Amino acid sequence: MTTERSLVLVKPDGFKRGLSGEVLRRIEAKGYTLVALSVLTPTREQLAVHYEEHVGKPFYEPLVDFMSSGPVTAVVIEGQDCVKGFRSLAGATNPTEALPGTIRGDFGRDWGTPVQQNIVHGSDSHESGQREIGIWFPEL
């Protein structure tokens, strides 16, 4: 196991529903450290860099529209294998498939909402975490 950092975003749907505190509580309860935290409304330019691997895919524009629709809570977490650990806390991407006890399983709404409206984002690898942290927290 290695100590690493990961980016976590409480997406606009989670922020609007007041779930940032609950997400942060679960992160800290798992034993991870909050290294940096910011509340902001992402720009389309910032999201274009974050989601650059998805440019041209059918879900890209709706995803950027959604993610720029309101404030997000952006957090850098640190801990032993925190990339894998947070993704386990978050649950399956599709809230319908997310197990109870996970963030998406407990709070994800699956009635008529696109899958990107699933409360949180977590880096999917150590390398992605480093890249994403540089986008959202360039000072780190």
Q: Annotated catalytic, 50?
A: no
Residue for token pair 């407990």: 106
Domains recognised in the chain with CATH numbers = 3-136 (3.30.70.141)
pLDDT at res. 112: 63
For 39-87, write each residue's pLDDT tens digit. 999 999 999 999 999 999 998 999 999 999 999 999 999 999 999 999 9
Annotated binding-site residues for ATP read 11, 59, 87, 93, 104, 118
**Token code pair at residue 89:** 């806390």
**Token code pair at residue 62:** 């709706």
| b/e sequence 50-69, b meaning 16+ C-beta within 10 Å | beeeeeeeeebeebbebbbe
Annotated binding-site residues read 11, 59, 87, 93, 104, 118
* CA geometry: angle 90, 8, 54, nearest 5 deg: 90
Query: What distance in Å separates the CA atoms of residue 114 and residue 125, rounded to the nearest whole number?
Result: 24
Q: pTM of this prediction? A: 0.94
